[in-house]
Amino acid sequence: MNMERKFPSTRLRRLRTSKKLIDLVSENTITSNDLIQPLFIKENLSGTESIKSMPDILRYGKDEVNKEIKNIINCGINTIALFPIIKPELKNSSGSEAINKDNFICSMIKQIKDEYPEIIIIADVALDPYTDHGHDGVLNQDYVDNDATVNILVEQSLLLAASGADIIAPSDMMDGRIAKIRQSLESEGFINTILLSYAAKFNSHFYGPFREAIGSSSKLQGSSKSSYQMNTANYNEAYNEVALDINEGADIVMVKPALAYLDVINMIKKEFKVPTFAYQVSGEYSMIQNAIKEGWLDKNVMLESLLSIKRAGADAILSYAAKDISLEIKNL
Ligand code: PBG
């Protein structure tokens, strides 16, 4: 680079004299193709229900889900991530409802695919919606048992794939689960089922509103996920997690949360050059959305935040604001 170029031969403001010029030299953009809408669906609910800690986000009952999918498609979004809330009496210590082939999530995937076969469905793989202790796996004393959990996650993944999920997303952080799930998918003939690994998932306090939304926080009773989710202080460890998951057969890797981990997103994309997603999690969403609703921040902060995640290197972003932002950018 020629550092001799000085004012006035260089006036960086020349390219900022109009919105059209600014857009012309813009380095990053967000389109609805980059956005994924997470959706809370609740068994035995008729209609919808609001979530106290997540402004404008609802839980949808079986009868309302397809209507909402239609809204999402109309906003230009092609991909959804489903999170079930099951009947409390179905939760137990082994999360056995996760591997009941007629469970709520499997029936909802079928219901959605029947009407909207073109929508891309991401189904989460973890036991926290199903366990009575709120952990992502089964316990041996107080410790989440890695290998026993992986065996269950394999079964859960096969059921989700058989129900029609396009993308299986293990969010549990057990070691070795990608390899086992990939092997089983291959041997059962699900050769095109995509594995999106929550590879670098931090033990973050930004998940609070999500845990309220799916009802796992009261179950956890203050117990932490620190024996499986990553230490929030770590960076190199994210490299190791991602390297392992790619070797084990992940098609896409994810960093989660997003805004507090932009350095990690950037490093992963640069180092591995594989499809890399980021999750703007519930706490990030609620913080921003609440400030917008209170009038403390301009509504453009949501787009600014998503753009920063894109700029860091994310190819796509899971965001509770996906639908609204997608509409907004369409109308810009
Ligand atoms: C759990 C799971 C979590 C999220 C997605 N899947 C929370 C957790 O690890 O407790 C968080 C998403 C969010 O906060 O928006 N398997």
Tell whether the model's pLDDT for residue 158 goes beyond 90. yes
Q: Give the tens place of pLDDT for each residue, 261-287.
A: 999 999 999 999 999 999 999 999 999
Percentage of the chain exceeding pLDDT 70: 99
Confirm whether 201 is a catalytic residue: yes
Q: Give the tens place of pLDDT for each residue, 31-63.
A: 999 999 999 999 999 999 999 999 999 999 999
What is the reported pLDDT for 291? 98
What is the reported pLDDT for 281? 98
Å from CA of 27 to ligand 1 middle = 31
What is the reported pLDDT for 330? 84
> Is there a contact between 159 and 130 (Cβ–Cβ < 8 Å)?
no
How far is it between the farthest Cα atoms of the chain? 72
What is the reported pLDDT for 5? 83
Confirm whether 293 is a catalytic residue: no
- In the Cβ-directed half-sphere of 185, how many Cα atoms lie within 13 Å? 26
Average pLDDT, integer, range 72-79: 97
**Residue 128 Cβ < 6 Å to ligand 1:** yes
What is the reported pLDDT for 150? 98
Backbone angles phi, psi at 35, to 5 degrees: -115, 140
What is the reported pLDDT for 1? 58
**pTM of the shown model:** 0.96
From 281, 319, 320, the mutation candidate for ligand 1 (largest count of ligand atoms within 8 A of CB) is 281
Q: Whose CA is nearest to atom 14 of ligand 1?
A: 207
Q: Greater confidence, 216 or 96?
A: 96
Tell whether the model's pLDDT for residue 238 goes beyond 80. yes
**Residue 126 Cβ < 6 Å to ligand 1:** yes
Rounded CA gap, 261 and 317, in Å?
Answer: 13
Alpha helices, H only, 25-167: 62-74, 104-115, 146-163
What is the reported pLDDT for 217? 81
Rounding to the nearest 10 degrees, give the CA dihedral for residues 14, 19, 24, 26: 90
Question: How does residue 332 score in pLDDT terms, banded at 50, 70 and 90?
Answer: low
From 82, 128, 172, 317, the mutation candidate for ligand 1 (largest count of ligand atoms within 8 A of CB) is 128
Q: Give the tens place of pLDDT for each residue, 295-321.
A: 999 999 999 999 999 999 999 999 999
Mean residue pLDDT across the chain: 96
